[in-house]
């Protein structure tokens, strides 16, 4: 017979193995304003730069405004998604982001490599940023298994509209945190 953990979010099967807990949203803002802050310097500076580009461009910035080497501190934390038709291709994955992801997404259409529950969430955020024309933010836990660190992340999606021969893009700036979890007692 299965028993329930004291945290009441995963059950133990008859073999004693715990299934992974699903990701969950800690906080989100689907329309970040100029004065909104996240509390993480790298993300707060990224949103501030985006709004400066917005003001200079007179609306959602075009891709030409993003100059990665002007902001080297974020490069390893960036994922760039390009809209091709109605699908998103992840064109760039920074080293820090790649090290925390359980799947390889670089140069892939996300609908070909992401599990359905993750695909639905990231698609909502990428499309939401492009359709609303403003950044959005989410802080979430990643799927967790007993015996591993609990990893959460904060992601800021920055939309860029198409110009000339460029497709619309979304730059996702990711901040990962790991928390050691030990001694989870079971009934």
Q: What is the pLDDT of residue 174?
A: 95
Query: CA-to-CA distance for 151 and 82, rounded, in angstroms?
Result: 26
Give the C-alpha distances (Å, rounded to integers) separating 8 from 15, 63, 185, 187: 18, 46, 12, 11
Which pLDDT tens digit goes with each residue over 29-84?
999 999 999 999 999 999 999 999 999 999 999 999 999 889 899 999 999 999 99
Q: What is the pLDDT of residue 103?
A: 84
Q: What is the pLDDT of residue 66?
A: 92
Q: What is the pLDDT of residue 177?
A: 87
Average pLDDT, the chain: 83
Tokens describing residue 6: 């004291």
pTM: 0.82
Q: Kindly give the parts of the chain with pLDDT less than 50.
A: 1-18, 184-187
- Matching residue, tokens 């329930």: 4
């Amino acid at each position: 017979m299965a028993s329930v953990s004291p945290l009441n979010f995963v059950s133990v099967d008859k073999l004693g193995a715990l299934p992974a807990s699903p990701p969950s949203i800690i906080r989100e803002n689907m329309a970040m304003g100029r004065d909104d802050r996240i509390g993480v310097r790298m993300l707060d500076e990224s949103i501030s730069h985006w709004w400066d580009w917005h003001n200079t461009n007179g609306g959602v910035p075009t891709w030409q405004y993003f100059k990665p080497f002007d902001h080297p501190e974020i490069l390893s934390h960036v994922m760039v998604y390009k809209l091709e038709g109605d699908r998103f291709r992840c064109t760039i994955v920074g080293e820090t982001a790649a090290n925390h992801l359980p799947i390889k997404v670089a140069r892939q259409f996300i609908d070909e490599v992401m599990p359905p529950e993750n695909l639905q969430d990231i698609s909502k955020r990428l499309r939401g940023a492009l359709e609303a024309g403003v950044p959005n933010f989410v802080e979430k836990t990643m799927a967790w298994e007993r015996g591993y660190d609990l990893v959460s992340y904060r992601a800021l999606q920055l939309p860029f509209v198409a110009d000339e021969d460029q497709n619309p893009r979304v730059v996702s700036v990711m901040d990962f945190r790991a928390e050691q979890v030990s001694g989870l007692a079971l009934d």
